[in-house]
């Protein structure tokens, strides 16, 4: 089975984010980038499926040096090779333009039996890209996946999806397919020292927009379906009353308020 | 025309449908666009009748045996066909597991914009500006859709007040027929409810809930001690359950249980949107967190911005004393 796992670099969750001068994105020059958390579950699931059924795991990412970094960590976890979509023209892509480029690259690489992506990213967080890749590739898909069983002989998958209200459903779908992987499906492994050393010898293809045959109108910001007008920190809707003082005083004041003001005790 | 894609289950409209109708009624007025509810399914008559009672212009029904169970292939094919025949201005879909399962495919199939997870909209000149949350609800992003309509948007659950939907219309019910080419590729095997058991939080009057801020499994005892002292139940955020500190039935949020106790105490929970959706209707919300910018403070009524390892034991002591008094 050939499995492609998509990785999006996002600012390290511990970083303090600041809005840039044009208010269209965050100041990202000095940030450390890591793989978006849900993508780690997707890579782990890809590696487990390969361990069970054989084949290869290819990691793919679009971006600059930060993408090279997350791809190297994917290789260190055990992926066989990487594809890096690197071109200034990719900058400013929205989910649509990103999915277009990723799907084109996957097709150029000979397609895949299975494409995995995190259920949503830690930055835009809309959960669109994986599903859009499925439409660009014309393959079946399933979202919010919490369990995967593959049957390479019959080219089919049995996956468990998480629906609202604690309901799970099991569905069957044919391969090739795209799955968006939910947090907690597994425990992602850490890269071993041996894995990190081995990663250095693994193949990393670097493809530009021209390599993918993408026109200037289709790549990055030019290919985006929406324009970012403004990023801002939202005003609080409910006015929270912050209770100050030492931990003991704050706790005592809180209990008083819950009794007398909110009347919930 | 603004289309609202009605979401339903067991022949009942889901609450997100009313929220989408509120969005549509407001946007319809601002942009001078009539509103149509679109209901896909099999035997949609009673759903159509219910939608007809709202103040909208039309109810479009797409009735087909292949739509009896939700499947993305059939949904995309049917809605693509509708949007090509009568190009709407805007199509509103729930930012739900179901909505987000087909909306991105529809957007790509028609090569038109989709803005997902909208919490607000505005009109700037003639342009539609949609606001959505990014960075786990720490920031908002205003976007302007590009090119010609139709535009697609999914609305976050809870963003529009479903109880403000205007009733009293005389909408006409218009069937739209599609000839779906092939059965969907997806086959449903089974659907199971998560075990609730002793952690059924839906009727608990007080819930003390812990999150990743507790750092490790052993520290979760702080939550249990406080819950016992206050006479409440214990809940948890998703990362706690994913890390296997507690079983899945304790999880509160869009993929866990939805709760609305009279008192909800969120400890070391930053408040990802999925968690907020599951608890924001609680009558009184208390947040204890070191990070003043944590989104949980946006829904909280009272907050303590301090180290939970100092505040929680202090609270537990007070409640223990109160009990003994």
pLDDT band at residue A236 using 50, 70 and 90 as cut-offs? low
The answer to whether the Cβ–Cβ distance between B189 and A158 falls below 8 Å is: yes
Are B217 and B243 within 8 A, CB to CB?
Answer: yes
Average pLDDT, chain B: 93
Query: What's phi and psi for A115, nearest 5 deg?
Result: -115, 130
pLDDT band at residue A238 using 50, 70 and 90 as cut-offs? low
Torsional sign, CA B311, B313, B315, B318 = negative
pLDDT, tens digit, 9 for 90 and up, residues B235-293: 999 999 999 999 888 999 888 888 889 999 999 999 988 899 889 889 999 999 999 98
| Mean pLDDT of all residues in A110-122 | 97
Beta strand pairing call for A167-174 and A156-162: antiparallel
Which has more confidence, B323 or B104?
B104
Please tell me the predicted confidence (pLDDT) of residue B136.
82
A positions 33-92 inside 8 Å of B (CB): none
Asked if this assembly's ipTM is beyond 0.95, the reply is no
Q: Which of B209, B212, B218, B217 is CA-nearest to residue B291?
A: B212
Smallest Cα distance from A257 to chain B, Å = 9
Are A158 and A171 within 8 A, CB to CB?
Answer: yes
B positions 258-297 inside 8 Å of A (CB): 258, 262-263, 273, 283-284, 286-287, 292-293, 297
| Mean pLDDT of all residues in A58-82 | 97
The answer to whether the Cβ–Cβ distance between A254 and B315 falls below 8 Å is: yes
Please tell me the predicted confidence (pLDDT) of residue B277.
84
For B314, nearest residue in chain A (alpha carbons): A248
Sequence-distant (6+) residues with CB within 8 A of A1 are A49, A50, A53, A54, A55, A113, A114, A150, A152, A175
A154 touches chain B (CB under 8 A): no
Query: What one-character DSSP code corresponds to residue A234?
Result: P
| Mean pLDDT of all residues in B1-26 | 96
Please tell me the predicted confidence (pLDDT) of residue B255.
80
- % of residues, chain A, pLDDT over 70: 99
Please tell me the predicted confidence (pLDDT) of residue B198.
58
Q: Among partner residues A224, A233, A255, which is closest to B139 by beta-carbon distance?
A: A233
Half-sphere exposure of A46 (CA within 13 A, CB side): 37
Average pLDDT, chain A: 95
B321 touches chain A (CB under 8 A): no
Sequence-distant (6+) residues with CB within 8 A of B269 are B209, B210, B211, B212, B213, B237, B275, B287, B289, B294, B296
Phi-psi region of B197 (alpha: psi -120 to 50; beta: other; left: phi over 0): left
The answer to whether the Cβ–Cβ distance between A127 and B116 falls below 8 Å is: yes
Query: What one-character DSSP code corresponds to residue B194?
Result: P
The answer to whether the Cβ–Cβ distance between A96 and B193 falls below 8 Å is: no
For B273, nearest residue in chain A (alpha carbons): A125
Torsion (CA) B18, B21, B26, B31 in degrees, nearest 10? 170
B196 touches chain A (CB under 8 A): yes
Torsional sign, CA A136, A142, A145, A151 = negative
| Mean pLDDT of all residues in A142-153 | 97
């Amino acid at each position: 089975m050939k499995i492609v796992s998509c990785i999006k670099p996002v600012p390290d969750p511990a970083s303090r984010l600041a809005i840039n001068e044009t208010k269209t994105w965050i100041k990202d020059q000095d940030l450390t980038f890591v793989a978006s958390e849900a993508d780690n579950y997707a890579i782990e699931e890809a590696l487990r499926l390969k361990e069970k059924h054989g084949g290869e795991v290819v990691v793919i990412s679009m971006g600059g040096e930060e993408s090279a970094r997350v791809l190297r960590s994917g290789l260190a976890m055990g992926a066989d090779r990487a594809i890096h979509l690197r071109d200034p023209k990719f900058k400013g892509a929205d989910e649509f333009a990103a999915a277009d480029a990723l799907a084109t690259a996957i097709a150029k690489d000979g397609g895949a039996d299975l494409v995995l992506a995190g259920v949503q990213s830690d930055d835009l967080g809309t959960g669109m890209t994986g599903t859009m890749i499925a439409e660009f590739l014309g393959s079946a898909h399933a979202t919010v996946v919490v369990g995967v069983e593959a049957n390479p002989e019959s080219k089919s998958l049995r996956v468990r999806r998480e629906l609202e209200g604690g309901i799970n459903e099991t569905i069957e779908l044919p391969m090739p397919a795209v799955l968006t992987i939910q947090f907690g499906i597994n425990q992602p492994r850490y890269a071993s020292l041996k894995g990190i050393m081995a990663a250095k010898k693994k193949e990393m293809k670097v493809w530009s927009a021209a390599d993918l045959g993408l026109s200037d109108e289709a790549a990055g910001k030019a290919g985006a379906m929406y324009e970012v007008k403004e990023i801002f920190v939202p005003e609080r809707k409910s006015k929270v009353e912050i209770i100050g003082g030492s931990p003991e005083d704050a706790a005592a004041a809180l209990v008083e308020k819950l009794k007398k003001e909110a009347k919930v005790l | 025309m603004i289309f609202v894609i009605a979401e339903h289950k067991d022949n009942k409209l889901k609450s997100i449908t009313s929220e989408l109708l509120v969005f549509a009624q407001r946007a319809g007025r601002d942009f001078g666009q009539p509103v149509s509810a679109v209901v896909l399914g099999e035997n949609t008559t009673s759903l159509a009748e219910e939608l007809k009672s709202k103040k909208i212009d039309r109810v479009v029904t797409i009735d087909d045996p292949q739509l009896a169970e939700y499947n993305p292939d059939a949904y995309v094919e049917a809605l693509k066909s509708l949007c090509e025949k009568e190009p709407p201005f805007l199509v509103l879909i729930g930012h739900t597991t179901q909505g987000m399962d087909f909306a991105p495919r529809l957007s790509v199939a028609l090569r038109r914009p989709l803005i997902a997870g909208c919490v607000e909209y505005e009109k700037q000149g003639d342009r539609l500006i949609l606001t959505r949350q990014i960075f786990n609800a720490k920031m908002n992003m205003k976007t302007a859709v590009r090119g010609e309509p139709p535009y697609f948007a999914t609305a976050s659950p809870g963003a529009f007040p479903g109880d403000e939907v205007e009733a009293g219309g005389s909408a006409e019910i218009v069937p739209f027929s599609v000839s779906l080419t092939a059965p969907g590729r997806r086959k449903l095997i089974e659907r199971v409810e998560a075990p609730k058991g002793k952690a059924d939080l839906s009727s608990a009057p007080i819930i003390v809930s812990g999150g990743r801020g507790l750092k490790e499994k052993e520290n979760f005892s702080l939550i249990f001690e406080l819950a016992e002292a206050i006479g409440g139940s214990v809940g948890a955020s998703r990362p706690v359950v994913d890390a296997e500190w507690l079983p899945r039935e304790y999880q509160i949020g869009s993929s866990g249980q939805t709760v609305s106790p009279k008192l909800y105490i969120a400890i070391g929970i930053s408040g990802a949107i999925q968690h907020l959706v599951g608890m924001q209707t609680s009558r009184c919300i208390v947040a204890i967190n070191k990070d003043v910018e944590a989104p949980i403070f946006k829904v909280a009524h009272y907050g303590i911005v301090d180290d939970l390892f100092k505040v929680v034991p202090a609270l537990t002591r007070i409640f223990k004393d109160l009990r003994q008094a």
